[in-house]
Amino acid sequence: MSIASPAGSTTIINPDLTLLIAEDTDLATLLAVASTNKHLHALIHTYEHSIIKSRINAAIPDPSLQPPFGSLLSSNGPTRQILPPWSFQVAAELERRHSRIETMFNNFTAPPTPLISAMYRVPSFAALPPPQFLHLVTMFKQACQLADQISDLALFVKIPVMARDPPPADPYSVQKAIHRTRQAYIKQLSPLELAALTHLAALGGMAYAEEFGEMLGSDPNGLERIVAFKETIFREGSFALWAFLHPEEHKVEEGLTGLGPPSLPPKARSSGLGRYIGRKVEAVLGDIWAYEQGLQELDGVATPLEVDVPDWDKEGARDGMEDDDEDPFVVLHGLHQTVMAAFPKPIQEPEEDDEDDMMGEANSQSEDDYVDYEEGDLSDEDEQTQEEVETYPADPRAEVILEAVRSAIPC
C-alpha cells in the first residue's frame, strides 16, 4: 500500500502489512484500493488465494462449513455458475450469503421478517425467553449455512466427457450422482444439525404458505407445492428462501406480477431470482408426482432428497404443534425434542382462576395434615442445593442425542 508524503513523494508500505490489512478489509474497499495503484494491484492479485483463504477462515470458523475446494455456486443472478476457486468472486458470494441470512433472521425489525414471524407461530419457540430465542435464531442461521453446503456439493460431481459416438446413457446420471452425494452428506450429520435443518425447511414451508395466502388453499396441489419448496431448500440452499421471501432485491415492474410458474408467490414473480427458484420448485413437484404415480423406476429420475431420519424418530408424532393447515409446521417428534431439550422449559404463571382454586385447596386442609418438623441447622444443605429447572421430557431412546444437544448450546 502506498501513501503520499508531505514532500509529494510516494511511500510504499510493507507488503506483509498490506496483506494483513487486505484480509480484514471488506471486498468492495479492497478492490477499490487495488485499482488506485499498479503495485497494490499486482500485490493483491498475486496473493489472491491466500487472502481469500484467510477471509474464509475468519468468516466461517467451522471447518465443516467451509468450501473444501474453495469454490461455490453463485446466487447473484437467475442462473447459478461455478465460481473460480479461492477468488474474489467466492469472497463476494460469501459476503452476499451472510448478509442475506442476517436479513432473513433479523429479530429486531418491525414488522418481523417472514421466517421470524413463522418462528413466533410455533408455541414452543414463542415461549422461550428472549436470550434463548436468540440462541435458537443463531441455530437456524447455522442451518442456512448447512443448507448452502449441501447445495454446493453439486460441485463435486464430475460430468463425464461425451465420446463422438456415445452409447445410450441414462439422461439423469448426473442428477442422480448429485443426489447421492448430498444424501451421503446428510446421513453423516449430527442429530442437532439434522434437527435444525429439518426445522429450517419447516419454517420455510410456513413462510411459503403465508406468502400465498388464500391462493394456496384453493390450489389442489397446494400441500405438494409446500413439500416441493422444502425440498428445494436442500437443493438450492438459503438462496431459495431469499428469492421467495425477499424479492425486493429486484424492482417490481407493473404488468409482470401475473407471470411466472404457479409455485412462485405473486410478489416474487417479477424477480429473476424468484422465477429461477420457481422453476426449480416446479421441477421438484414433477419428480414427486412421477414418483408417486409410479411412472418411473425407483432408480430412474432422481427422487427427492428426503432428509434421512434415524430409527428412533419413526413415530412422527407432533408435540407442541398446532394442527392448522395454514401453518404447516410438521416435524417429527424426536427432532423437535432434540432442539427443545437445549432450552429450559419456561415456567407458566397460573391464571387468576387457577390461583383461587389453589388458595381454596390450601385453606381447606385440616389441622391433622400439619407436620411438626424438628428444628435443625440446614445451612450446609442450603449451600449444596441447586435450583431445579423443569425441562422438556427426554425420549429414553434419544438420551445420548439429547446429551449432545445440551453440551452444544449454552442455556
**Residue 330: predicted pLDDT:** 54
**Residue 334: predicted pLDDT:** 62
Measure the CA–CA gap between 140 and 144, rounded to whole angstroms.
Answer: 6
The gap between the terminal CA atoms of the chain, to the nearest Å, is 46
Taking a C-beta distance cutoff of 8 angstroms, is the pair 236, 182 a contact? no
**Residue 8: predicted pLDDT:** 45
**12 membership: H or E segment, kind and range:** strand 10-12
**Residue 139: predicted pLDDT:** 94
For residue 325, CA distances in Å to 90, 204, 287, 330 come to 40, 14, 23, 10
Alpha helices in 60-129 (DSSP H): 88-104, 114-120, 123-126
**Residue 250: predicted pLDDT:** 46
Radius of gyration of the chain (CA): 27
Determine the residue type at 230.
K
Per-residue pLDDT of the chain (411 residues; tens, 9 = 90+): 544 444 444 445 678 888 888 888 888 888 888 888 888 888 888 889 988 888 888 888 888 888 878 899 999 887 889 999 999 999 999 999 999 999 999 988 888 999 999 999 998 899 999 999 999 999 999 999 999 999 999 888 776 665 555 555 666 778 888 888 888 899 899 888 999 999 999 999 998 888 877 777 777 777 888 889 999 999 999 999 998 887 654 444 444 444 556 666 666 666 778 788 888 888 888 888 877 776 545 444 444 554 444 443 433 333 333 344 444 455 556 667 777 776 766 544 445 555 555 455 545 544 444 444 444 454 454 444 444 444 444 444 445 444 544 444 443
Taking a C-beta distance cutoff of 8 angstroms, is the pair 77, 66 a contact? no
Distance of CA 316 to the CA centre of its chain: 22
Local structure of 258: helix, strand or coil? coil
